[in-house]
Amino acid sequence: MILRPRQKTFVANCLQALGEHGNTLGVANTGFGKTVALSATTAQQINGVGRALILQHRDELANQNSETFRRVAPEIPISFFTSGRKSWRGRATFGMVQTVANHVEAIPRLDLLVIDEAHHCASATYQKVIGKVKEVNPEIKILGVTATPERSDKKGLANTFSNVADIVTISEMVQAGHLVPPKAMVVDIGTQSALKSLKPRADDYNQAEIEAIQNTTVNNNQVVEKWLEMANDRQTIVFSSTIQHAEDVCKVFREMNVEAETVHGQLPVRERRAILAAADRGDVQVLINPMILTEGFDNQRISCVMLLRVSSHKSTMIQMIGRGLRKLDPARHPGIVKRDCLVLDFGISLLKHGDLNADVRLKYKENKEKGEAAKKTCPECKSKLPIQVKECPLCGYEFKVEVDLDGFYNELEELKLIEIDLLNTSPFRWISIFDSGAALVATGFASWACVCTADDENWYAIGGEGKTVTPLGVSNKIGAISSADDFMRQHEKSTSAKKAARWMRESASQKQMQLLNRLGHYGQFSKVEAAALITFGFNSRAIEQILGV
């Protein structure tokens, strides 16, 4: 497996922070591949001779994370300490926190403790394990990784982590094509003035006060009418202020013959799971919830997010919006196209925190300087943080940020720049098959990938391995390039990239030229150009079937 450039940077920053501080927290948003980065950091830190415990809060996550670890570091033996298996024999042990906490006396000397979903680590169960591993080895290093550092109980993470190594934002993931872009709109249903007059408490707004303003028959009818006008063909998630608010909005959707359900903490677990499964199948179009679906909820069909509540933290707003930004896996959802996510804010969150599109469209400027990444100090808890962070993940302090309007870029021009950057940072050589640029192909030792379009709007990512040709998804061009490049990274090794670089300087072989002539190509070609043209020619029928042409 070949890591993405941003994953490599994340790993390097975590390793540097571990060396400097002995602990660190890495924050990576939806779509980044944090388990891949976690695995690579672990493998490099223990260097094949140390021992690590990777801690999860569910047995299923231990199994999922171990599978990724095997792909990233197949040479490191692993073991499990979960409800069903209890062994410390591996260099890397995947443990379920409750099981490990119940057997703390059995914990051996470890060199590295890795905490997945590290926002849970302030709880007593995690602290019991952390205390024991430190007792056994006071020099142990601790790495935490999470997408959502904020805790609902407002307990900070500064007792475990003294610094944040890196933060990967949603903006970066959208620009890299790993998430679909959000299209945000503020809709005033006559409540903005009243909402603006409310004062947030220390932790957040009083949602009962929000409900008193938002949850009326007139307002709920306006909300559903606007949805019918703008998003009636989209699977939707709605964030309400309270359970009663969710129930009342759901009633209006149903009166309009829309398949809608509420999900909240008072529902029996079995019933809640059945509703979410129905939504994942597409049998439920609208899910309404009072914040219960902000973490651990993955429904790739969601392409509309409606905000009926108000959050005083931008991170919470982005967390809600993030539920609709995942790209579609065509194996799970064949035939569905998802190019963007519509965000309809019926409150004041976007007005309070800034249009999310502004964050997405600002050109991401990488730190070109070599050496230590730019840092700043949180004035509240004194932790060292990446320079771009807007809210301290360890204590919740919010930095005031001024948006410079001169920093905006022309959207079409920037999309071209992002596309060029994606292709330039790929370890593979992407060859344009036609003068129009409607098809790009990359080849490796074990696989190939293609990005193509028939209408310049729907871009298809296609992967090939042996005789198998697989659709990887339909999105915009950047999203398709990202999916195709990821397919190649998962199936190739770094030697493939070195081959492609060498073949760009070498002329096509005699055998390649014979095949090219059979396919109707004449002229001078490099070996890598010839490989791409031949691959596309031999697989053109399968590619056309996927495109439907």
Q: Is the pLDDT of residue 295 over 70?
A: no
Residue 49: count other Cβ atoms within 10 Å of its Cβ: 8
Is the separation of the CB atoms in 115 and 144 below 8 Å? yes
DSSP at 381: T
Q: For the chain, first and last CA: distance in Å?
A: 33
- Mean pLDDT over 481-502 rounds to 82
The pTM assigned to this predicted structure is: 0.66
Contacts of 87 (CB under 8 A, 6+ apart): 79, 80, 81, 93
Contacts of 291 (CB under 8 A, 6+ apart): 239, 309, 320
The pLDDT of residue 412 = 45
pLDDT band at 418; cut points 50, 70, 90: low
Q: pLDDT above 90 covers what percent of the chain?
A: 51
d(CA 177, CA 337): 15
pLDDT, tens digit, for every residue of 235-279? 999 999 999 999 999 999 999 999 999 999 899 989 998 999 999
128-142, 352-366, 483-497: segment of lowest average pLDDT: 352-366
Helix (H) or strand (E) holding 211: helix 207-214
pLDDT band at 402; cut points 50, 70, 90: very low
* 534's tokens: 């031949």
d(CA 549, CA 546): 8
Q: Is the pLDDT of residue 216 over 60?
A: yes
Is the separation of the CB atoms in 69 and 91 below 8 Å? no
Report the DSSP pairing between strands 52-56 and 78-81: unpaired
Report the DSSP pairing between strands 92-96 and 78-81: parallel
* 453's tokens: 């379009």
Residue position matching structure tokens 């190019």: 339
d(CA 206, CA 26): 31
125-139, 306-320, 356-370: segment of lowest average pLDDT: 356-370
Q: Is the pLDDT of residue 360 over 60?
A: no
DSSP of 68-89, one letter per residue? HHHHH-TTS-EEEESSS-B---
d(CA 475, CA 328): 9
Name the more confident of 544 and 158: 544
Write down the CATH number for the domain with range 182-360.
Answer: 3.40.50.300
d(CA 394, CA 266): 30
56-70, 151-165, 321-335, 357-371: segment of lowest average pLDDT: 357-371
- Mean pLDDT over 528-537 rounds to 92
Q: pLDDT above 70 covers what percent of the chain?
A: 88
**Which of 496, 107, 175 minimizes the C-alpha distance to 363?**
175
pLDDT, tens digit, for every residue of 457-476? 889 999 999 889 999 988 88
Q: Is the pLDDT of residue 410 over 80?
A: no
What is each CA distance from 306 to 147, 148, 186, in whole angstroms? Answer: 21, 20, 10
Q: Is the pLDDT of residue 151 over 60?
A: no
Name the more confident of 120 and 153: 120
Is the separation of the CB atoms in 531 and 507 below 8 Å? no
The pLDDT of residue 390 = 65
d(CA 196, CA 192): 6
The pLDDT of residue 1 = 80
| Beta bridge pairs of residue 164 | 25
DSSP at 17: H
The length of the chain is: 549
Side-chain-side CA neighbours of residue 22 (13 Å): 6
Q: Is the pLDDT of residue 234 over 70?
A: yes
Contacts of 183 (CB under 8 A, 6+ apart): 340, 341, 342, 343, 357
pLDDT, tens digit, for every residue of 90-146? 999 999 999 999 999 999 999 999 999 898 898 999 999 999 999 999 999 999 998
d(CA 167, CA 302): 25
Side-chain-side CA neighbours of residue 152 (13 Å): 5
Is the separation of the CB atoms in 122 and 160 below 8 Å? yes
Q: Is the pLDDT of residue 409 over 90?
A: no
The pLDDT of residue 165 = 93
As assigned by CATH, the class of the 5-168 domain is alpha beta
Give the chain's mean pLDDT: 85
Q: Is the pLDDT of residue 4 over 90?
A: no
Comma-separated ranges of CATH 3.40.50.300 domains in the chain: 5-168, 182-360
Name the more confident of 78 and 418: 78
- Mean pLDDT over 448-455 rounds to 94
The pLDDT of residue 387 = 66
